[in-house]
């Protein structure tokens, strides 16, 4: 008996195994998890008119006409078999001596499966579709009228086929594995199976690959989805449990200290949400177990204040806090604004420093040696209660005297492993962790990717926010175009500021440093011009429509000091217009800016655009966001932009984004999606299964944390974690 871990060679032979390897299928288990994309009914013929050029297809059709003839040109013989679905036709073309075989095997009336690459050719009155030298398989008993009824009703699995491997060849291999392999031990506990009416594993493997009817396939899918959800949720439940067992130094609030002084200095009232979440966090920090909390809140919801208040509580209790930002610009901005908000409270040891004052250190990857040394020293000695930085904070030589809290801003840029790396830096117990994200995360994603975190949400924006109006501007429309720049001039005339965002830096062909998973969905529209670049657009605007305004650029290739200087000048109102890449996407907070023009807006993802426009309308004046695009009016791209323009609901938009991306991207997997642990489960539509699996997994892990009574589950879990680790190493 083959086991699921064994290489495919044993079950299907060397030749087939080699072809399957090209699909990344190495073991019997891999092949069984290569699920059919859909099922074809024997009776049901493929709609031949819908076949697209260049596509690899497997079609079911009936032979209508067979015509062989000698030709004078080289291969000497040409066979054309015309197949039909009853209305449309498709030509199968075979050349040479070999053509006599299909001529014999495919008499008119034969129903069969035909696979190959669709090509178009001109013939007489119109375009015809053909498959050249297709693979084919006649369905038994089909020639003639009395095809057995059971044949007509049987389902045929259709696999994602590939060059050199037809769907039915894959099906044959699968059958060999199904017949010979030990189909693996049950990993779902019987109780769980019973409660949720799930079929057994072996039955499910058969049911998904060789179902007798759609109901059977459906039962099999449900069961296998459960496996995916359950293993994942068990892993997350174990993480939560392990975290809960760790010790952390409690950092209870102090009656008098930095936090109370800070609250007294705050120029605004906390919103209800900020107060409630603040109290949750304050209580978490006072516990002897590390907090692991995710704080969600749409752009501008006021997460920074919540994070900062948590930080101050920890500093009051004698600990240090690290604030981790995804970009250099954002780290610098946090540093600037936190120092400003704290005022005298950030001036420990300096003239005018408050009684409870602390120091705020900044550590980024490319700051000068002297500044860096100072920051490192302040972190290690404990002089700095607050250390703000980018990934540089994760480096080994960064040490803290007593790290009590890690606040991670804009979580979606950080993986689980990076969170862990920071946690390791606490000596004596783990630090508390607060993760803040502006990307509204659909519930299902929160339950999976972030399933090891408790969650809180800020659901309202602070009062007095002005709404942002968003419009799509077709680049070809001269009047709109002129009006866009006129709007910027008007705002500048009122003393307000604007952003112009471009997808690319320019001056070379390097793409902007868009983080993985944030790239907008590919749309194959043939060769497109390169996206507009900051370094091209800025001078054109400066000499053209924005002539006379104070304008500068900001992008990821600039030296950090220069970035900081430009951001400062913009924040201080010394610039009217900032032409930038997505470096300004997250967190940049200049309330005086009111207009944003996004060039080539179709090159950005939906969530990204939502983040971007969150940069305007942060103050008293209404915000305006113009999405400039030359995408065709009826295109998918325009649909996306229209969606962004139609709603300010980030949650709705993130659902839309999710729909357009593959699940693997959401989980931060590599683009290829290779070996994604989620094949059947979709985060959008399987919320029920995910929720139920989460509850079941928690119960199971509570009763049996080490999974001693569930060896099969433990083995699957180990395999999943190995893959995760491998993925991470590959990326690193």
Q: Which stretch binds Mg ion (CB under 5 A): 160-168, 364-372, 394-402, 580-588?
A: 580-588
Q: Interface residues for ligand ADP in 460-479 (CB under 6 A)?
A: 462
Q: Which is nearer to Mg ion, 143 or 586 (CB)?
A: 586
Assess contact for 549 and 495: CB atoms under 8 A: no
- Minimum distance from residue 497 beta carbon to ligand ADP (Å): 15
Helix (H, G, I), strand (E, B) or coil at 269: coil
Helix (H, G, I), strand (E, B) or coil at 696: helix
Does position 268 interact with ligand ADP (CB under 6 A)? The reply is: yes
CA-nearest of 247, 288, 244 to 705 is 244
Per-residue contact flags (x/-) with ligand ADP for residues 598 to 617, judged by CB under 6 A: --------------------
Does position 618 interact with ligand ADP (CB under 6 A)? The reply is: yes
- Minimum distance from residue 567 beta carbon to Mg ion (Å): 15
Q: Which two tokens stand for residue 384?
A: 């700095």
Q: Which is nearer to ligand ADP, 305 or 579 (CB)?
A: 305
Q: Which is nearer to Mg ion, 542 or 587 (CB)?
A: 587
Q: Interface residues for ligand ADP in 539-598 (CB under 6 A)?
A: 587, 589, 591
From the list ligand ADP, Mg ion, none, partner contacted by residue 268 (C-beta under 5 to 8 A by kind): ligand ADP
d(CA 329, CA 567): 8
Q: Which two tokens stand for residue 288?
A: 């002897």
Interface pick for ligand ADP out of 2, 58, 274, 439 (rule CB under 6 A): 274
d(CA 627, CA 614): 13
Q: Interface residues for ligand ADP in 422-441 (CB under 6 A)?
A: 438
- Minimum distance from residue 648 beta carbon to ligand ADP (Å): 13
Assess contact for 336 and 571: CB atoms under 8 A: yes
Q: Which stretch binds Mg ion (CB under 5 A): 123-131, 388-396, 581-589, 699-707?
A: 581-589
Does position 102 interact with Mg ion (CB under 5 A)? The reply is: no
Q: Which is nearer to Mg ion, 188 or 324 (CB)?
A: 324
Q: Which stretch binds ligand ADP (CB under 6 A): 269-277, 370-378, 504-512, 558-566?
A: 269-277
Q: Interface residues for ligand ADP in 293-312 (CB under 6 A)?
A: 297, 299-305
Residue showing tokens 């507009």: 532
Helix (H) or strand (E) holding 498: strand 497-501
Q: Which two tokens stand for residue 712?
A: 């099969």
CA-nearest of 343, 270, 267 to 309 is 270
Q: What single-letter DSSP state applies at residue 181? A: B
Does position 587 interact with Mg ion (CB under 5 A)? The reply is: yes
Q: Which stretch binds ligand ADP (CB under 6 A): 18-26, 262-270, 276-284, 667-675?
A: 262-270
From the list ligand ADP, Mg ion, none, partner contacted by residue 423 (C-beta under 5 to 8 A by kind): none
Strand partners, 93: 80, 132
Q: Interface residues for ligand ADP in 305-344 (CB under 6 A)?
A: 305
Q: Which is nearer to ligand ADP, 281 or 484 (CB)?
A: 281
Does position 302 interact with Mg ion (CB under 5 A)? The reply is: no
Sheet strand arrangement including 468-474? 468-474, 623-629, 593-598, 497-501, 577-580, 551-554
d(CA 393, CA 403): 12
Q: Which is nearer to ligand ADP, 142 or 274 (CB)?
A: 274
CA angle 443, 444, 447 (to 5 degrees): 90
- Minimum distance from residue 270 beta carbon to ligand ADP (Å): 5
Does position 207 interact with Mg ion (CB under 5 A)? The reply is: no
Q: Which is nearer to ligand ADP, 589 or 727 (CB)?
A: 589
CA-nearest of 42, 40, 17 to 30 is 17
H helix runs in 148-298, sequence order:
149-153, 167-180, 190-195, 201-209, 214-245, 258-265, 272-285
Q: Which is nearer to Mg ion, 273 or 451 (CB)?
A: 273
- Minimum distance from residue 463 beta carbon to ligand ADP (Å): 7
Residue showing tokens 């995916």: 228
Q: What single-letter DSSP state applies at residue 33? A: T
d(CA 616, CA 590): 8
Cite the beta strand spans of 71-148 per DSSP E.
Answer: 77-84, 89-95, 111-123, 126-132, 135-138
CA-nearest of 315, 286, 293, 279 to 403 is 315
- Minimum distance from residue 505 beta carbon to ligand ADP (Å): 25
Does position 46 interact with ligand ADP (CB under 6 A)? The reply is: no
Helix (H) or strand (E) holding 612: helix 606-613
Return the sign of the alpha-carbon dihedral for residues 192, 198, 203, 206: negative
Q: Which stretch binds Mg ion (CB under 5 A): 130-138, 218-226, 229-237, 579-587?
A: 579-587
Q: Which stretch binds Mg ion (CB under 5 A): 205-213, 536-544, 584-592, 656-664?
A: 584-592
**Which chain residues interact with ligand ADP by CB under 6 A?**
268-271, 274, 297, 299-305, 438, 462, 587, 589, 591, 618
**Which chain residues interact with Mg ion by CB under 5 A?**
587
């Amino acid at each position: 008996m083959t086991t699921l871990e064994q290489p495919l060679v044993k079950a299907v032979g060397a030749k087939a195994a080699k072809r399957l390897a090209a699909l990344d299928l190495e073991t019997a288990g891999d092949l069984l998890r290569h699920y059919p994309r859909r099922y074809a009914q024997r009776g049901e013929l493929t709609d031949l008119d819908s076949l697209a050029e260049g596509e690899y297809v497997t079609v079911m059709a009936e032979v209508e006409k067979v015509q062989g003839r000698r030709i004078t040109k080289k291969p000497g013989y040409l066979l054309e078999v015309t197949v039909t679905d009853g209305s449309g036709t498709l030509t199968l073309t075979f050349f040479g001596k070999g053509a006599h075989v299909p001529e014999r095997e495919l008499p008119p009336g034969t129903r069969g499966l035909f696979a190959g690459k669709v090509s178009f050719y001109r013939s007489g009155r119109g375009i015809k579709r053909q498959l050249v030298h297709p693979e084919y398989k006649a369905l038994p008993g089909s020639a003639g009228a009395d095809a057995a009824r059971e044949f007509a009703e049987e389902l045929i699995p259709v696999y994602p086929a590939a060059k050199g491997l037809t769907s039915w060849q894959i099906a044959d291999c699968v059958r060999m594995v199904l017949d010979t392999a030990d189909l693996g031990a049950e990993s779902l506990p019987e109780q769980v199976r019973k409660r949720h009416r799930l079929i057994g594993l072996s039955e499910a493997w058969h049911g998904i690959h060789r179902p007798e009817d759609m109901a059977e396939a459906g039962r099999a899918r449900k069961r296998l989805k459960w496996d995916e959800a359950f293993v994942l949720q068990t892993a997350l439940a174990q993480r939560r449990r392990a975290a809960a067992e760790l010790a952390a130094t409690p950092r209870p609030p102090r009656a008098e200290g930095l936090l109370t002084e800070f609250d007294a200095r705050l120029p605004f009232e906390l919103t209800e949400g900020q107060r409630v979440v603040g109290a949750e966090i304050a209580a978490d920090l006072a516990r002897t177990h590390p907090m692991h909390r995710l704080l969600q809140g749409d752009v501008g919801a006021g997460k920074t204040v919540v994070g900062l208040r948590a930080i101050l509580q920890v500093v009051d209790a004698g600990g240090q806090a690290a604030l981790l930002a995804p970009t250099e610009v954002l780290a610098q901005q946090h540093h600037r604004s936190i120092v400003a908000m704290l005022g005298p409270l950030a001036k420990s040891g300096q003239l005018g420093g408050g009684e409870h004052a602390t120091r705020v250190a900044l550590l980024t990857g490319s700051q000068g040696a002297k500044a860096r040394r100072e920051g490192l020293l302040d972190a290690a000695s404990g002089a700095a209660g607050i250390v703000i930085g980018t990934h540089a904070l994760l480096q080994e030589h960064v040490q803290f005297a007593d790290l009590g809290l890690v606040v991670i801003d804009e979580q979606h840029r950080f993986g689980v492993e990076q969170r862990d790396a920071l946690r390791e830096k606490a000596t004596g117990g783990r630090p508390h962790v607060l993760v803040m994200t502006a990307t509204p995360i659909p519930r299902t994603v929160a339950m999976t990717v972030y399933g090891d975190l408790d969650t809180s949400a800020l659901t309202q924006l602070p009062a007095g926010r002005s709404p942002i109006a968003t419009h799509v501007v077709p680049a070809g429309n001269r009047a709109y175009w002129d009006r866009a720049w006129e709007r910027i001039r008007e705002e500048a005339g009122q003393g307000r500021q604007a952003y112009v965002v471009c997808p690319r830096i320019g001056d070379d062909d390097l793409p902007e440093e868009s983080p993985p998973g944030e790239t907008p969905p590919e749309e194959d529209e043939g060769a497109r011009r390169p996206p507009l670049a900051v370094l091209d657009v800025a001078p054109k605007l400066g000499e053209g429509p924005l002539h006379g305004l104070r304008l500068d650029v900001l992008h990821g290739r600039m030296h950090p000091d220069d970035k900081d200087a430009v951001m400062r000048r913009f924040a201080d109102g010394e610039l009217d217009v900032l032409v930038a890449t997505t470096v300004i996407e997250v967190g940049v907070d200049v309330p005086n800016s009111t207009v944003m023009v996004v060039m080539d807006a179709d090159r950005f993802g939906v969530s990204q655009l939502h983040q971007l426009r969150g940069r305007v309308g942060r103050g008293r004046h209404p915000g305006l966001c113009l999405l400039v695009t030359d995408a065709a009016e009826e295109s998918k791209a325009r649909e996306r932009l229209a969606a962004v323009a139609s709603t300010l609901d980030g949650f709705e938009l993130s659902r839309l984004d999710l729909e357009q991306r593959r699940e693997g991207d959401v989980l931060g997997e590599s683009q290829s999606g290779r070996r994604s642990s989620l094949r059947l489960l979709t985060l959008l539509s399987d919320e029920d299964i995910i929720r139920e699996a989460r509850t079941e997994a928690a119960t199971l892990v509570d009763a049996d944390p080490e999974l001693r009574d569930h060896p099969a589950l433990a083995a699957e879990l180990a395999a999943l974690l190995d893959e995760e680790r491998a993925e991470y190493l590959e990326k690193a």
